[in-house]
Amino acid sequence: MKAAVLRELNKPLEIEEVSISKPGPREVLVRPIAAGVCHSDLHFLDGSYPYPLPTILGHESAGIVEEVGSSVTYVKKGDHVITCLSAFCGHCDKCLTGRLSLCQSPEVSRAPEDEPRMKKGDETIHQFLNLSSFAELMLIHEHALVKIKEEMPMDRAALIGCSTTTGVGAVFHTAKVEPGSKVAVIGCGGVGLAAINGAAIAGAGMVIAVDMMDSKLDIAKSLGATHTINASQGNAVGEIIELTKGGCDYTFEAIGLKSTTEQAWQMLGAGGTATVIGMIPVGTMVELHGVDFLSEKKIQGSNMGSNRFRVDMPRFVDFYLEGRLHLDQMISQHIKLEEVNNALNALKTGEEARHIIMFEE
């Protein structure tokens, strides 16, 4: 199969012929139809999150089941599915207490001594987050996908595979935003915009979008932001404290920086909760004023929107089909696999919404 391989940090991905193994008993071979190019892919391309190389990036996709392993009963050839990196084992303490996205069981990937899922000749190609979607085929654990309605367009479905679930999930599950509350979201990339849309669906009273680019703030408004702040034009924290008359009930950091994480904390009113969604580079420390704990502020992380994706993703599909989840304006361009490097470069400048790779059906 054809795949975009990352061999060296900060270098363009190379389109190569890679071989893929046969499904083991609990594995499924998926033919992706659409794959989003997500900002988190960049963190691995630039090494701020180290990953073993060579690897095939991509972790946001939707496709069609091609072949299933001998023990798989949940899906069959031809089913439409969304893939998810939150593969769950189903029997560890995290899974059994309903926190599936925190499952760390190694059994959803192949063991180091097993034949790798992908190879080029004798060389192991490391699977990225148990998915690797910048490729014509994906071999994944049966617990890394969810069936969806066939009427759902594949490019929109792909977004649900990461950015939607991460942003909306952070609002619904991690922070549990209350109707009527005051919410601020810092960063209006795919995940931040999803959080804004999620806050609107959850019934937040005030949804304040913060970004440096007016074009993104315009999209934020169309997704339900009630107020926007361009942070390049002054002190966003001060403006929010004034606008909310004392601070937010919930803030969301959707960039992954020390400075914006600290701002998310500073924007809270007494008793408020800051949720950090962005991926802060490994080794970076975050500083908070200790006295703030007297006002019962809280700060927490959110990974993949604390999802239970087999429940959540079909709901998000329905939200889209009902017109409540706005995915159309999140997509700026459809591209071919060969154009993936342009899409990654466009993400670096931050100007455009998402590029979606479309594979030939």
Partner 1 sequence: MSTTEIPSEVTGRVWKIVLDPGAKVDEGDPILILESMKMEIPVEAPCKGIVTEICVAEGDAIVEDQIIAILEN
Interaction between residue 52 and partner 1 (CB under 8 A):
yes
Binding residue (CB under 5 A) for Zn ion from 42, 53, 64, 89:
89
Binding residue (CB under 8 A) for partner 1 from 21, 230, 303, 332:
303
Interaction between residue 342 and Zn ion (CB under 5 A):
no
Number of residues that bind Zn ion (CB under 5 A): 8
Interaction between residue 282 and partner 1 (CB under 8 A):
yes
Binding to Zn ion (CB under 5 A) within 112-171 occurs at: 162
Interaction between residue 86 and partner 1 (CB under 8 A):
yes
Tokens read off for 57: 């990036």
Interaction between residue 102 and Zn ion (CB under 5 A):
no
**Residue 89 interacting entry, from partner 1, Zn ion, none, C-beta within 5 to 8 Å by type:** Zn ion
CA distance 296 to 268: 10
Binding residue (CB under 8 A) for partner 1 from 15, 26, 31, 51:
51
Omega prior to 54 cis, within 30 of 0: yes
**Residue 40 interacting entry, from Zn ion, partner 1, none, C-beta within 5 to 8 Å by type:** Zn ion
Contact 178, 151 (CB under 8 A): no
Instruction: Render 248-295 in DSSP notation, one character per residue.
Output: EEEEEE-S--HHHHHHHHHTEEEEEEEEE-S-PPTT------GGGGGG
Give how far the C-alpha of residue 307 lies from the chain's centroid of Cα atoms, to the nearest Å. Answer: 11
Binding to partner 1 (CB under 8 A) within 112-141 occurs at: 112, 126, 129-130
Helix runs in the chain, H state only: 39-45, 93-96, 154-159, 165-169, 190-201, 214-222, 236-243, 258-266, 309-321, 340-349
Question: What is the closest distance, in whole angstroms, from the C-beta atom of residue 41 to Zn ion in the complex?
Answer: 7
**Residue 179 interacting entry, from partner 1, Zn ion, none, C-beta within 5 to 8 Å by type:** none
Give the nearer residue to partner 1 in terms of CB position, either 48 or 230. 48
Question: What is the closest distance, in whole angstroms, from the C-beta atom of residue 102 to partner 1 in the complex?
Answer: 8
List Cβ neighbours of 222 (8 Å cut-off, separation of 6 or more).
326, 329
**Residue 74 interacting entry, from partner 1, Zn ion, none, C-beta within 5 to 8 Å by type:** none
Give the nearer residue to partner 1 in terms of CB position, either 230 or 303. 303
Binding residue (CB under 5 A) for Zn ion from 21, 48, 105, 342:
105
Residue carrying structure tokens 């999803």: 194
CA distances to 161, 177, 212, 310 from 101, in Å: 13, 19, 31, 11
Contact 140, 28 (CB under 8 A): yes
Helices 214-222/190-201 angle, 10° precision = 30
Interaction between residue 97 and partner 1 (CB under 8 A):
no
CA distance 168 to 164: 6
Interaction between residue 342 and partner 1 (CB under 8 A):
no
CA distance 28 to 122: 23
Binding to Zn ion (CB under 5 A) within 38-67 occurs at: 38, 40
Binding residue (CB under 8 A) for partner 1 from 65, 72, 81, 85:
85
Give how far the C-alpha of residue 125 lies from the chain's centroid of Cα atoms, to the nearest Å. Answer: 23
**Residue 45 interacting entry, from Zn ion, partner 1, none, C-beta within 5 to 8 Å by type:** none
**Residue 270 interacting entry, from Zn ion, partner 1, none, C-beta within 5 to 8 Å by type:** none
Interaction between residue 206 and Zn ion (CB under 5 A):
no
**Residue 212 interacting entry, from Zn ion, partner 1, none, C-beta within 5 to 8 Å by type:** none
Interaction between residue 49 and partner 1 (CB under 8 A):
yes
Environment class of residue 156 by beta-carbon count within 10 Å: exposed (0-12), middle (13-18) or buried (19+)?
buried
List Cβ neighbours of 271 (8 Å cut-off, separation of 6 or more).
249, 295, 296, 297
Contact positions vs Zn ion (CB under 5 A): 38, 40, 89, 92, 95, 103, 105, 162
Contact positions vs partner 1 (CB under 8 A): 49-52, 85-87, 102, 104, 106, 112, 126, 129-130, 282-283, 303
